[in-house]
Structure 1
Amino acid sequence: MDFLKGEVDGLKKEAIIIGAGIGGLCTAIALQNKGWNISVFDKATALTEVGAGIVLASNALHALDKLGVGHLVRARGASVGRAEIRTWHGDLLVDFSTSEHTESYLINRGILQQILLDSLQAGTSIQLNTTLVTINQNDEKVEAVLSNGDKIVGDVLIGADGFHSVVREQLFGVDEPRYGGYTALRGICNFNDSNYATEHGGGFEAWGRGKRFGFSHIGQGKVFWFAAINMPQGIEIRKGERKKVALQAFDGWYNPVEAVIKATDESAILHHDIFDRKPIAQWSKGKITLVGDAAHPMLPNLGQGGAQAMEDAVELANCLSTPHPVAESLRIFEKKRIPRTNKIVTQSRRMARLVQMENPLAIKARNLVFQMVPSSRLSGRLRWLVDYKV
């Protein structure tokens, strides 16, 4: 028996993956690299990531290197050379560019997804426009019953179906999402600014009173920006009004905030309220487990949502490539991953309170601390997060 290649008696083991986003595709690549057959199912009618950027800190790049795609991501993304935090009117709070820092990149999510798709083995089964209805399992196999009536049998089923995971709900019931207290507008555009030249990469965040704006190069001559604005949950900012709302919210802010918003097509601006879920202590039951946002949805304040899905993929494939039975391997997997991801969920929520402050006195005190503490010390407090090697 060649367990290291995912085979028993000459037959490859079969993995069912629900969800073809970044987490699902990374998991598919990781398992294929270990010799598994995989079948991927997604409710989408087409595999197109909405236009936004994703930050890849060194821990994410390490995971992508383990998957064999890190060099492709670096070739098409933008290295972070400049990383600043400023006040809303431009005063410098922290310049991470001048401190010793680890490798990080930014890339368009759609480009990243295409890299992952292209890295799957030829003939990989990805079935779209298909939803999961129910899951059955016994001591030998797990079965996914799909909306088209198909019943797919495998050795393991992995829920990579995102924030609104059907797999998570079937395993553990319904749990209410937690509103982060702010809504986000995001856009991608072509933009040039001599102060943030393309060849230097990276960009800045500017912090105001209950508002925050981020600007970063993501490669291919593109800039990604986001605006985080405190407001009650559920207020819709309709298409056609988003650019106007962003310009009103950031009127008079540090240049180039207004300029980059103006340079963005209205149709390229997205709007979403921001949520996470309370961390859970278990991801697996029998031969079924969760990865990525299905397991540990987090606020984006540490830039680790995608990175943690990538780490999950590598660790899961490692655990499933041992002589242990699948159910035991999944228990080992979650024991390795849950303490780290739950800590990141918690820290991301704490960071939201820090960066979305509204009290003027608290903001003044926060800014003073950031200006006084060396950037090397601040970045050092994140070493546990970004220097991690799965």
Structure 2
Amino acid sequence: MMMSILTPLILSWSMPSSRTMTGPTAAPARLSLRCVAAPCMQAVPPLKVVIAGGGVGGLTTSLAMLKAGFDVTLYEKTQKYARFGGPIQFASNALSTLKAIDENLFARVMEKFTFTGTRRCGIKDGLRADGTFRMTNVADPKYLIDPGVPADWYLEFPLRQCADFFQLPYTGVINRPDLQEILVEECRKLKPDFLVNGAPVAAYENTPEGVSVRLKDGTTISADVLVGSDGIWSAVRAQMYGEGEVKGLTADGRTQQGCPYSGYTVFAGEFVPERVEDFRDYYECGYKVYIGPRKYFVTSDVGDGRVQWYSFLAQPPNTRRAGDSWEGGASTEKEGTDVISYLKGLHEGWTDEIHYVLDSTPAAAVEQRDLYDRWPELFRSWADGSAVLVGDAVHPMMPNLGQGGCQAIEDAFELTKALKEAVLTSDAAVPRPELTRAALQTFYKRRVARCAGVSLLSRLASDLIVNFFDTPWSPHDSRGNSALGYLTFAWKPLLQFVIFPLQFLFLYSYHPSGSMGDLPKRLEAAWRTRHKPAAEAAFAKAAKEGQAVGAPSFFSASKS
């Protein structure tokens, strides 16, 4: 609890006990500053924070601020948390941030984690891959003169090398329900009643004392700070930037609440191979992107034998063709055409690897969603008085780099840090609202450049692949004999050895935990001991019982 700044503080330095520094996730001992108050000191109330929205960003912000000693209440619109939603990717920068927020949180996430960045992740030729899911040499130039040398792998992403450069854990995925459960439990250890369900934040009003927050049912709450973490269709943002009605759509259907349609729709599904022999690269490949004319297709290991896939298509908004999928939109195709047949038709002539993935997926396990995007907010502050935006509410991102959740976690850390600095270094003569409002502006200024860079890179990936990539030229067949085919061939060395290394070094350069020594290697070794047995059990179950169709796997958490 914060002590009165008018009373002298007795500062003492404490070193974590050596008994707490054991186990696979132990961190080097660090000095920490704590305040010890004399019995006569009178405490002032802790900073009161209201958080709108209980997604990854809202829950992580809640935990970071509760650990800082703030009085946090999170208002979530769903009536209760249920186990829904599929895997979410955490890159090395996000894992470092989780560890900096809380060691126990990091350890629990690692217990549920599936590493992808420890294996090959890269781009394959969607037309030339031979259908056997083989792992051929990525960078063998002999294919130019020898038609027997495979050229189905276009390039490899340097995820492992860039993580090793900073000594950080490797990129991977965790099931959203597991992450949600961990975060809620860790928050409740600090404040059992921190979460209020069925209570969406509708509006706010800055007051001389801070902020007055109005819930949808009319209830008002006074607080020092409001954090708008209520997603891309944020009510807090709609008011802050004057965007009108939440999810309001323009007449042409291309802009929703000030958010333009990206130009892309995505289908997503999940299946379990019934025999690993049919999906030969399962243990050797984390994820891969198949490229071809005007579209791309992604598959990823998401743990427990499951393979998740995404099909990215450049189409007008509201082009609903997944009528028999979870999205439930009316099909514009002729009656009787199911979503799997539709997608197979779009990928006619592409590798049998994609067709195997589609054939293995039940139509009812497919979702569709139009992707909306925003340009980075470079010139409008993310804060209005005592209200501030974080995560998708202010910087939603295309899913290509898997950085949406990662950047929300970075926001949680940096926002808490800015508020702590303001409180600990405050002048008694400065009113608390002035201190907190200045801290929110500090947070915005620290985050805006990095988030803009990550957002633009995420968007650029889609535009480049769809508009400037094609089947790469080869001297051994007639595919790729177009201007874009020659350009795609020429891109390869520049992307492999310059652009992608710089991109991932930039992403991982934010690592507030610091380097972790040999911990990432030990975590990987521990994961490998449990990965294969879990996958083998899943393969055997799928072969015996067929494909399971469960809860929505990718989009359900973001439909709000």
State the TM-score, normalized to the length of structure 2.
0.65
| Contact kept? 1:193, 1:256, Cα under 8 Å | no
Match of 1:270 among 367, 379, 398: 367
Show the counterpart of 2:260: 178
Show the counterpart of 2:174: 107
**Distance between the aligned counterparts of 2:160 and 2:269, measured in 1?**
29
Show the counterpart of 1:301: 400
Moved more, 2-11 or 241-250: 2-11
CA gap 1:114/1:188 in 2 versus in 1, 3 angstroms: farther
Aligned partner of residue 289 in structure 2, secondary structure: strand
Tell whether 2:191 aligns with 1:155: no
CA gap 1:311/1:231 in 2 versus in 1, 3 angstroms: same
**Distance between the aligned counterparts of 1:48 and 1:266, measured in 2?**
24
Aligned partner of residue 27 in structure 1, secondary structure: helix
- Superposition pairs for residues 219-298 of structure 1, below 5 Å? 219-240=303-324, 241-280=338-377, 281=379, 282-298=381-397
Alpha-carbon RMSD across the aligned residues, in angstroms, is 2.6
**Distance between the aligned counterparts of 1:61 and 1:92, measured in 2?**
29
Deviations along 1:146-203, whole A, 9 cap, x unmatched? 1223212211100000000100111111152122111001122223544555544512
The alpha-carbon deviation at position 293 of structure 1 amounts to 0.4
| Contact kept? 1:93, 1:367, Cα under 8 Å | no
Deviations along 1:350-383, whole A, 9 cap, x unmatched? 2221111277535313421343347343432211
The residue type equivalent to 2:506 in the other structure is: W
Match of 2:156 among 91, 95, 104: 95
| Contact kept? 2:162, 2:508, Cα under 8 Å | no
The residue type equivalent to 1:35 in the other structure is: G
Tell whether 2:510 aligns with 1:388: yes
Tell whether 2:420 aligns with 1:351: no
**Distance between the aligned counterparts of 1:40 and 1:302, measured in 2?**
28
Match of 1:365 among 455, 477, 486: 486
| Structure 2: 5+ residue stretches without partners | 6-32, 130-151, 164-169, 244-256, 325-337, 427-434, 471-481, 513-560
Moved more, 18-27 or 232-241: 232-241
Deviations along 1:330-361, whole A, 9 cap, x unmatched? 01000000111112222222222111127753
CA gap 1:366/1:358 in 2 versus in 1, 3 angstroms: closer
**Distance between the aligned counterparts of 1:358 and 1:317, measured in 2?**
41
The alpha-carbon deviation at position 39 of structure 1 amounts to 0.9
Moved more, 190-199 or 1-10: 1-10
Aligned partner of residue 106 in structure 1, secondary structure: strand
CA gap 1:115/1:208 in 2 versus in 1, 3 angstroms: farther
The alpha-carbon deviation at position 10 of structure 1 amounts to 4.3
The residue type equivalent to 2:461 in the other structure is: M
Moved more, 123-132 or 368-377: 368-377
| Contact kept? 1:93, 1:370, Cα under 8 Å | no
- The percentage of counterpart residues that share the same residue type is 28
**Distance between the aligned counterparts of 1:49 and 1:279, measured in 2?**
32
| Contact kept? 1:196, 1:203, Cα under 8 Å | no
Show the counterpart of 1:85: 123
Larger Rg: 2
| Contact kept? 1:78, 1:202, Cα under 8 Å | no
The alpha-carbon deviation at position 319 of structure 1 amounts to 0.7
The residue type equivalent to 2:106 in the other structure is: G
Match of 2:498 among 371, 377, 381: 377
| Contact kept? 2:187, 2:194, Cα under 8 Å | no
CA gap 1:179/1:116 in 2 versus in 1, 3 angstroms: same
Aligned partner of residue 127 in structure 1, secondary structure: strand
**Length, aligned pairs only:** 390
The alpha-carbon deviation at position 54 of structure 1 amounts to 2.4
Tell whether 2:187 aligns with 1:66: no
Show the counterpart of 1:19: 53
Show the counterpart of 1:118: 185
Aligned partner of residue 383 in structure 2, secondary structure: coil
CA gap 1:193/1:227 in 2 versus in 1, 3 angstroms: farther
| Contact kept? 2:468, 2:487, Cα under 8 Å | no
The residue type equivalent to 1:181 in the other structure is: G
Aligned partner of residue 17 in structure 1, secondary structure: strand
Tell whether 2:216 aligns with 1:216: no
The residue type equivalent to 1:20 in the other structure is: G
| Contact kept? 2:56, 2:408, Cα under 8 Å | yes
| Contact kept? 1:51, 1:187, Cα under 8 Å | no
Query: In proportion to residue count, which structure has more strand?
Result: 1
* Structure 1 consecutive aligned stretches of length 4 or more whose deviation exceeds 6 Å: 3-8
Aligned partner of residue 237 in structure 1, secondary structure: coil
| Contact kept? 1:289, 1:330, Cα under 8 Å | yes
Moved more, 374-383 or 146-155: 374-383
**Distance between the aligned counterparts of 2:321 and 2:84, measured in 1?**
17
CA gap 1:263/1:164 in 2 versus in 1, 3 angstroms: same
